[in-house]
């Protein structure tokens, strides 16, 4: 075989680059499709298959801790928690955008406290790549929480380190902090009907949610 000319070498390089570029595009497309499939599956799991065709989809999870549980966890200050997860599409993003509202009661504070923020899209868990997790945050450096589906999608695991909260009974007060203690870092909440989360919904959302039941 004769020596390749400069023109042949340049043509070979161009062809190789074109093939590599095509492979890269195909891989990226496959990754996007796989991720889209994962996020679609996550939405179906989160909302138990009840995805709204228009407007918002909702899921409600709660937990009330009895005296026996609190006796076993003496450092736990949280006596009750409820979580409302909602999702909707927005004009600038066809993927579902998630948000949360959280209600909390404490043993060492009087009042009903809540918090809310945005979650964006579900992402792969840092611990387990094949599990998707919602990472949610509160505006103005208000901390955040993560939400992961567990217990065959009948429950969620909520984890937090620091979260800004408001006292619903004293709406004029500035927000305060919910800082995770030894027994206040992870909470398993169980799926319940949307009636349980009415207090976390704006009135228009409450009516829309209950109309869809």
Confidence of residue 95 (pLDDT cuts 50, 70, 90): confident
Residue 168 lies in a domain: yes
Residue 83 lies in a domain: yes
- In tens, the pLDDT along 136-192 reads 999 999 999 999 999 999 999 999 999 999 998 887 888 999 999 889 999 999 999
- In tens, the pLDDT along 42-94 reads 999 999 988 887 889 999 999 999 999 999 999 999 999 999 999 998 888 87
Of 191, 149, 199, 167, nearest in space to 45 by CA: 149
Could you tell me if 143 and 161 are in contact, meaning their C-beta atoms sit under 8 angstroms apart?
yes
Confidence of residue 16 (pLDDT cuts 50, 70, 90): very low
Which residues form the domain of 161? 57-211
Residue 80 lies in a domain: yes
Of 112, 89, 92, nearest in space to 101 by CA: 112
Residue 42 lies in a domain: no
Residue 132 lies in a domain: yes
Residue 43 lies in a domain: no
Q: What does pTM read for this prediction? A: 0.78
Sequence-ordered list of residues with C-beta below 8 angstroms from that of 100, at least 6 positions apart, any chain: 83, 84, 85, 86, 116, 117, 118, 119, 134, 136, 145, 147
Least confident span in 27-41, 143-157, 188-202: 27-41
Distance CA 167, CA 172 (A): 9
Domain count along the chain = 1
Residue 164 lies in a domain: yes
As a whole number of Å, the end-to-end CA separation of the chain is 75
Residue 118 lies in a domain: yes
pLDDT value at residue 22: 41
Of 152, 59, 49, 141, nearest in space to 98 by CA: 59
Distance CA 155, CA 150 (A): 5
């Amino acid at each position: 075989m004769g020596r390749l000319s400069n023109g042949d070498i340049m043509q070979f390089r161009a062809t190789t680059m074109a093939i590599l570029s095509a492979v890269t595009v195909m891989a990226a497309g496959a990754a996007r499709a796989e991720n889209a499939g994962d996020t679609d599956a996550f939405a179906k799991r989160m909302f138990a298959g009840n995805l709204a065709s228009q407007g918002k989809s909702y899921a409600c999870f709660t937990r009330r801790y009895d005296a026996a549980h609190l006796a076993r966890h003496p450092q736990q200050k949280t006596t009750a928690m409820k979580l409302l997860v909602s999702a909707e599409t927005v004009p600038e993003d066809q993927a579902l955008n998630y948000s949360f509202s959280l209600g909390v009661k404490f043993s060492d504070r009087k009042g009903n406290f809540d918090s809310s923020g945005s979650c964006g899209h579900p992402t792969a868990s840092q611990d387990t790549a094949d599990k998707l997790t919602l990472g949610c945050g509160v505006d103005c450096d208000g901390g955040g929480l993560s939400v992961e589906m567990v217990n065959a999608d009948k429950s969620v695991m909520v984890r937090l380190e620091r979260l800004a909260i408001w006292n619903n009974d004293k709406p004029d007060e500035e927000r305060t902090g919910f800082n995770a203690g030894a027994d206040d870092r992870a909470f398993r909440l169980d799926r319940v009907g949307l009636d349980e989360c009415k207090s976390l919904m704006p009135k228009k959302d409450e009516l829309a949610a209950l109309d869809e039941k």
